[in-house]
């Protein structure tokens, strides 16, 4: 199921690690939170335009016993201190082998965030740094944009042709202004 770009954009949802903040594997330490370039600026712009913002994040470290829910919440609170408040957070605590419907690339968290915001997934965009982020957006019927990092696999970038942005600012321009 693809997205319907004819509906106006009402929310921009973000992957957390590697998209909004530097990816520190299984980070349970708020002191290690470091925003990605342009993150604060992009979020200020979206909020000024009246768009809802949210964070969608797989946190399998919880089910693996590497992190507590409290540690994840502390990191998320630090992200909000640095980047401002988000309208919605959706965190999947499950490991891949749990087979849940929320863990990306499944669409569960994006669908739940849209329900909580009172919008259709077609009115949302999801920005992430790996292929499973775009697969989750497509499965939910939301627009997806890939912002690759050095950890993004070449085949994920190639598969996302037409939906790839160099950084968060370029991703927002793509969503707000349409393709160049």
3-class SS at 42? Answer: helix
On the question of a cis peptide bond just before residue 118, with omega within 30 degrees of 0, the verdict is: no
Q: How many CB atoms lie within 10 A of CB 22?
A: 15
CA 14 to chain centre: 2
In angstroms and rounded to an integer, the radius of gyration of the C-alpha atoms of the chain is 15
Q: Which residues are catalytic?
A: 15, 17
For residue 168 the two structure tokens come to 């968060």
């Amino acid at each position: 199921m693809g997205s319907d770009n004819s509906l106006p954009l009402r929310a921009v949802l973000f992957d957390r690690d590697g998209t909004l903040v530097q990816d520190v594997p299984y980070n349970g330490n708020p002191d290690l939170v470091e925003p990605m370039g342009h993150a604060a600026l992009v979020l200020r712009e979206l909020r000024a335009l009246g768009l809802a913002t949210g964070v969608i994040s797989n946190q399998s470290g919880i089910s693996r016993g590497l992190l507590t829910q409290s540690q994840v919440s502390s990191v998320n609170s630090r992200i909000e201190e640095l980047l401002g408040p988000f309208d919605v957070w959706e965190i999947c605590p499950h490991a891949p082998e749990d087979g849940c419907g929320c863990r990306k690339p499944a669409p569960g968290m994006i669908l739940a965030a849209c329900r909580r915001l009172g919008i259709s997934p077609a009115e949302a965009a999801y920005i992430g740094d790996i292929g499973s982020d775009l697969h989750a957006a497509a499965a939910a019927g939301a627009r997806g944009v890939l912002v690759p990092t050095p950890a993004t696999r070449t085949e994920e970038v190639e598969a996302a042709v037409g939906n790839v942005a160099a950084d968060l600012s370029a991703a927002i321009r793509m969503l707000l202004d349409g393709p160049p």
